[in-house]
Amino acid sequence: MNPFVSLALSNGVPLDTLVLVLILPIIVTMIAFFRQVIGIKAFGIYTPAIITFAFLATNQIKYGIIIFVTVIAMGTFVRYLLKQFRLLYLPRVAIMITIVGFAILALLIIGGIYNRTGLASVSIFPILIMITLVEKFVAVQIEKGGRTAVILAVETLIISVIGYYIASWPALIGFILNYPWISLLTIPFNIFLGKWTGLRMSEYFRFRQIIKSK
Amino acid sequence: MIAFFKNSRKILGMNARNLQFIRPNNLRRAKRLADDKLLSKKILKKADLPVPNLIAKIKNIDELENFDWNTLPESFVLKPNRGFGGEGILVVYGKKKNRENTWIKADGSLITVNDIKTHITNIVDGSYSRSGVPDIAFFEERLKLLKLFKPYAFKGIPDIRIIAYNKVPVMAMLRLPTRESEGKANLQQGGVGVGIDMASGVTTTAVYHKNTIIEYLPGSRLVLSGIRIPYWKNILSLAVRAQEISGLGFLGADIAIDRDRGPVFLELNARPGLSIQIANLDGLLGRLQRVEGLKIKTAEKGVAVGMNLFGGEIEEEIEDISGKKIIGLVEKIKLIGKEGQEIEVEAKIDTGAGLSSIDTGLAKELGFEKTVEEYERLGLDYEKIKNMAKNEREELFESIPDLADTAIIHSSHGTTHRPMINIDLSMNNLTVPAKVTIIDRSNLKYPAIIGRKNLRKFLIQVK
C-alpha cells in the first residue's frame, strides 16, 4: 500500500473520506472538460460535483435520480404557481424549498407503501443537498428562463450520473489508493483546459449552417 | 472535409471569445461601464453621441414612495439599470384618457400606478439584475418606430447590433422583436436576427430561435433579406466612436433608429452573443483575425476598412440568382483584339446607346490598323454614303480586311458613318463577343462606350 495512504489510515482518516477527497479532483476536472471541450454546461461546477456525491451517498443511483427529477419537476411546477403572486426572491425560494421538501417526504412515504424500502432509507445528507438544488434552479430560471433551466438541469443530471460511475469504479479507486498523487495530474490538465480556445463539440452543431455554407 | 475544417476555423466559439477577446480587450472598468446602463448613457452623452433621454430614476423604496407620477410623460420606457437580456423592461405607449394614473402597455393592456410600483420594487430589489444585487430603476424616452420597420417589428423597436473590434465594425445584425419575444429584440427571448452586409447595410440571412435559418418573418410572407438599413455609415461610425469612448476593445453596440432623431444608442455590451455568426452565415473569428493588429487612426478609416473587408456578399448573391454580373456606370473593362491583344480601359456604360464604340487609336492597338487605314482612305462621310445604293456600298467595303459591318450613328455630335469590327469585351470577369464601331474619341473622357447590345448579361449599379 502507498505510504501516504497507510499514514492517513493509521491516523484515523476513514477510507471513504480518503477515497472521496482523492477522487474529487477527477470529478471536477471531468466537469470542466465537459464544459470547455464538449459544451455541456450544467449548473456550474459545484452543483454537479455535489450531486455526484449525493448519488454516491444514496444506496442505489436510481433513487438518487428519482429524487433529483422530483426536485426539478416540483421546482418548475411551484414556480408556475407562484408566478402570479410576484414575490421577492428569498421568500419565494423559501416557499419552494418548503414545498419541495414536503414533496420528497411524500415520495419517500409512497416508496415505503410500495415496499421500496431502499428509497426511505436514503440518508438525510443527499436528500438535503438535492432539496437545496432548487435554489440554483430558481436562480437560473430567473436569469435565463425556464427552458434553459430545465436543459441545464438535465445536463447536470447527465454529468452527475457519469461522475457517479467514474467515482464508484473499483479499478479507479484501487489505482488511486495505490498512486494517490495521480490526482494532482489534473492540475496540468486543467491548465491546458483553461487555455483551450478551440470550438466546443456542441458549437460544431450550433454553427453547422456556417460550416456547411460554401 | 477540407471545407469543414476551413469553415470551422473561422467560427468564434465561447472559449475563444472569453479567453482571446473579452479578457484582454474588455478590462474590468470597461465591463462595469457596459453593465451599468445609466453610466454608459452618461458617458456617451458627454461625448455627444445620441442616447434616449433620461426622464427620472428611482434608487430605492423611499424614492419610489415620494415619486411624483405627474412628471411622467404620455409614453415612456421603464428599465432596470443592470438588467440584461432584455428582462424587466416595461414599455408604456400612452396615458389612458379620463382615468387617473393609468397607462396603456405595448400589447394594449392597461397598467396602473400600483402595477408600475410593484415592477419598480422588483427592479430595486434586484430581481432583474445580474447576480441579484439591488438595482436602480429608470424611466427614459420611448423611441418611435421608423416607418420602414413597421411591418417587420412586433410591438417594439428593432435594433442593430454591431460588433466592433480594433476600431473596425466587423459584423452586424438587425434584431426584430416578435410576438414571441413580446416586443423585445433579444434573440434569447425569441426575437429574429437578420445578418447585414457590411458594405451596403442591406439584410441577408435571418436566424430565429438561435439556430434556425428562416426566409420569411415568422407568421407572415415578408421576406427578411434585402431590407436597406438607413443611416448605415452613420450607424457604423457611431459604434466605432462608442468603442473609443467606452474602452471596450471588443464591443457589441446596440443602436436603434428613432423616427425623428435617427440612430440612437440603446446599450453597450461587453459580452456580445455568438448567434450573430449564424445570421450572417460567416464566422467572426476569421473577420476578427483580419482586423487584428491593423493601425486604425480615425473612426472614418475604421468604418471604411470594415465596409471594404466584410461587404459584397449581396452583389455576389444577386449575381448568383440572376446569372448576371454587376457593373458600375464607369467600369474598368478589358478589350481583347484580333490576336488576343488585351487592353484595359475605363469605359462608360451607356444604356442610352445601342451599339458600343471604341476610339480609333484603340482599334489600331487591337490589331485593326489596316481596317482603319483602308476605311479612312475611302474618305467617306455620311452625306456621300446617304446617296449610295446598298450593293454599291457593299462593293466599296468588300476589300477592307476584318471589317465586320458599318453603321450610321446619330449622336449629339451629329450623324456619322462608322466602320465596325469584332472584338471581345471582358467586364467584371465575364467575356462577351462584341461588334463595336470605331470613332475618334481622343477628345472625350472615356475611350470606349458600352451600349445596350453588349449589356444583356449585366446589371448596372448606379452609385
pLDDT in tens, chain B (463 residues): 677 777 888 899 999 999 999 999 888 888 888 889 999 999 999 999 999 999 999 998 888 888 888 888 888 999 999 887 777 888 888 888 777 778 888 777 888 888 899 889 988 888 787 767 889 999 999 999 888 888 888 878 899 999 999 999 999 999 998 887 777 777 777 889 999 999 888 898 898 887 788 888 888 878 888 888 999 999 999 999 999 999 899 999 999 999 999 999 999 999 999 999 999 999 999 999 999 888 988 999 999 999 988 887 556 666 666 778 888 888 888 899 888 888 888 899 998 888 999 999 999 989 898 888 888 888 777 777 777 777 777 777 888 888 888 888 887 777 888 899 999 998 888 888 999 999 988 888 889 999 999 998 888 887 5
Question: How many percent of chain A have pLDDT more than 90?
Answer: 52
| Burial of residue A74, with CB atoms counted within 10 A of its CB: 0-12 exposed, 13-18 middle, 19 or more buried | buried
The pLDDT confidence band at residue A100, using thresholds 50, 70 and 90, is very high
pLDDT at B314: 56
Q: What is the pLDDT of residue B317?
A: 61
- Strands of the sheet containing B110-112, edge to edge, are B54-58, B137-140, B76-80, B90-95, B102-105, B110-112
Q: Which range, of A138-142, A193-197, B262-266, B314-318, averages the lowest pLDDT?
A: B314-318
pLDDT for A158 equals 95
Going along chain B from its start, the domains and CATH numbers come out as 1-47+145-322 (3.30.470.20), 53-142 (no CATH), 324-461 (2.40.70.10)
Question: Which value does ipTM take for this structure?
Answer: 0.79
Mutate to test the interface with A, among B8, B82, B181, B207 (most CBs of A within 10 A): B8
Please report the pLDDT score of residue B185 as a whole number: 75
Closest to B277 (Cα-Cα) out of B286, B265, B268: B286
Name the B residues in 15-34 with CB < 8 Å from any A CB: 15-16, 19-20
pLDDT of residue B342: 86
Task: List, as ranges, residues 205-224 from B with C-beta within 8 Å of A.
Answer: 210-211, 213
Q: Which residues of A touch B (CB under 8 A)?
A: 36, 39, 86, 88-89, 139, 142-145, 195-200, 203-204, 206-207, 209-214
The size of the A-B interface in CB pairs under 8 A is 71
Q: Residue A9 above 70 pLDDT?
A: yes
- CA–chain centroid gap for B245, Å, is 24
Query: Which secondary-structure segment (H or E) carries B51?
Result: none
Q: What is the pLDDT of residues A101-120, one digit of tens each?
A: 999 999 989 888 888 777 77
Residues in chain B closer than 8 A to A204 (CB atoms) = 8
Helix (H, G, I), strand (E, B) or coil at B378: coil
CB distance B15–A210 less than 8 Å? no
**Angle, to 10 degrees, between the axis of helix A61-82 and the axis of helix A124-144?**
40
Least Cα distance to B257 among B155, B148, B173 occurs for B148
Which residue among A197, A204, A213 places its CB closest to the CB of B16? Answer: A197
Mean pLDDT score of chain A, rounded to an integer? 89
Name which of B7, B19, B189 is nearest A210 (Cβ-Cβ).
B7
The pair phi, psi for residue B167, each rounded to 5°, is 65, 15
Name the residue among A49, A54, A19 with its Cα closest to residue A35: A49
The C-alpha angle B58, B60, B64, rounded to 5 degrees, equals: 60
- The Cα of A6 is separated from the nearest Cα of chain B by a number of Å equal to 42
Residues of B in contact with A144 (CB under 8 A): 85, 188
Contacts of A67 (CB under 8 A, 6+ apart): A58, A104, A107, A122, A126, A127, A130
pLDDT tens digits for A26-63? 999 999 999 999 999 889 899 999 999 999 988 788 88
Distance of CA A17 to the CA centre of its chain: 18
- The pLDDT score that the predictor gives to residue B316 is 61
Between the alpha carbon of residue B258 and those of residues B38, B428, B447, the distances in Å are 19, 39, 47
Closest CA to B345 of B335, B359, B357: B335
List CB contacts of B198: < 8 A, sequence separation 6 or more.
B169, B170, B171, B172, B236, B306, B307, B309, B310, B311
Strand duo B159-165 + B137-140: pairing: unpaired
Distance CA B370, CA B374 (A): 6
Give the pLDDT score at B38: 93
C-alpha of B226 from chain center: 9
Could you tell me if B245 and B47 are in contact, meaning their C-beta atoms sit under 8 angstroms apart?
A: yes
pLDDT value, residue B463: 59
Q: What is the pLDDT of residue B276?
A: 92
Q: Which chain B residues contact residue A39 at CB under 8 A?
A: 14
How is residue B149 annotated by DSSP? G
For residue A184, name the pLDDT band (cuts at 50, 70, 90): very high
Domain ranges of chain A: 12-212
